[in-house]
Amino acid sequence: MRGLMQDVPLTIEMVLSRARRARTVVTGDTVLSWAEVVERACRVRAALKTLGVRPGDRVATFARNTHQHVELILGIPAAGAVVHPLNIRLHRDQLEYIVDEAQDVLLFADADTGALVDPTITLGDEYERLLAGVEPDASPVTAAENDALALCYTSGTTGDPKGVLFSHRSTVLHALGLLMVDSHAIARDDVVMPVTGLFHVLGWGLPYAVALAGGDLVLPGHSNAPADLARLIATHHVTKGAAVPTVWNDFLPQFDEHDLPSLRELLIGGAPVPPELIRRYAEHGIGVAQGWGMTEMSPSGTMARTEGIGAAMPLVELRLVDERGEELPWDGEAAGELQARGPHVAAAYYKGEPFADGWLCTGDLATIDADGTVHLVDRAKDLVKSGGEWISSAQLESAIAAHPSVREAAVIAITDERWGERPLALVAADGEVTAEAIRAFLRDHVAKWWIPERIEFLDAIPRTAVGKYDKRALRDRYRAPG
């Protein structure tokens, strides 16, 4: 027997309909109503048809967080095409590889991207003339819910970037998941500022979620400078900000000059959050919600406001497996590879084979408590095997970063004649601190044999285009294995 419920497809149409009744979209000093943004997105949809874009064609963007970029991530899929956000921080070789594989038919780019990409349409006067030359197409979206909506690429830290092809259905379900109280908890009265780029998995899906909730979206535009972010937060009463830990670490001095009473919570992902950063924001009455996920998961998987990385968000199923592929118990002790599946989790890479057993292999090692709380042990490739025993680089990094003078820390394995491998710690510090002081601090926080003999100080830890520590570059620099 089939249920007698209305068959309403989960497509971008649902986001557009809700957005028309949401409040505002801010880019720097420009304030538009969501209704205006939707109307402009409908002009994008009409313009694409005049340019010969067909359903399924890939249309790329190379842009920062602006209302124009939001219009594109709404209007391109409304036209039945696939929006393909390019990471503006990638090397030209990686961009060429991605564009070649995606076979983009059009490219919308910010005017100041220079020779890095060759835009079809520049986001400026040319873009505005394009929209002015057409009438908005507000007819119902004809895409099916399992049609492709967006193509996003992984950061390529372990090889060539891989494409992840989201559907309309997966994108809407992911956005709905971000509204849940144990997830990002985005509500109608929230003013959300995604500092993380829209080229990072569509800004972690936040514009779609804010549109569904009916809230306000504040976009930094062409400047992520801490002073400019503080001005936006103060002016537009931002309640939630989203970015990688580095952004919020650099932002802390702004509290010496600004009173920011509206800011209630930081949504942080992309890298582990140092305990010291959580503590310092708590002093200002601001909570931290730490997310874990991957591009392959749209990207959200878990959210934590206490210990670990939280439990799986609704519609995400997790399991642990050992080296033989056998499932492990959730007892807080058994550590294995974390795997995921669900309606907004990838089933295969673009132009790749389906994943074995229908589960996404994350490459993360974790334990899971009986109540479902996940604790990451490390990335499988980042473990240090010293004297036949494993050292978690993630846990050691967290312990080093807890030192009050340490701003950030990365740990990699280096070859050791006696032990096989030993940890090398790369540290960026604020103020005066010595390697011996860090080692003395670690004696109360980790096992003695975990403490690195070698600690190097850097001005800043190199990062990938998505804000994670670039351990491939660090291994190359320090001739580490792997």
The residues carrying an active-site annotation are 154, 296, 385, 390
CA distances 325 to 243, 319, 332, 347, Å, are 34, 11, 19, 18
Identify the residue whose tokens are 């909570």.
Answer: 287
DSSP annotation of 170: H
- For residues 43 and 51, is the Cβ–Cβ distance under 8 A? no
Nearest to 74 by CA among 198, 238, 240, 213: 198
CA distances 129 to 133, 311, 448, Å, are 6, 47, 65
Please give the backbone phi and psi of residue 58, each rounded to the nearest 5 degrees, phi first. -90, 130
* Alpha carbons 238 and 217: distance in angstroms, whole number: 9
* Alpha carbons 411 and 397: distance in angstroms, whole number: 6
Quick one: how far is CA 372 from the chain centroid?
A: 22
Residue type for position 239: T
- For residues 374 and 302, is the Cβ–Cβ distance under 8 A? yes
* Alpha carbons 46 and 34: distance in angstroms, whole number: 18
* Alpha carbons 399 and 277: distance in angstroms, whole number: 13
Q: Which residues does 400 contact at the CB level (< 8 Å), separation at least 6?
A: 406, 409, 411, 425, 427, 438, 441, 442
* Alpha carbons 180 and 272: distance in angstroms, whole number: 22
* Alpha carbons 165 and 184: distance in angstroms, whole number: 23
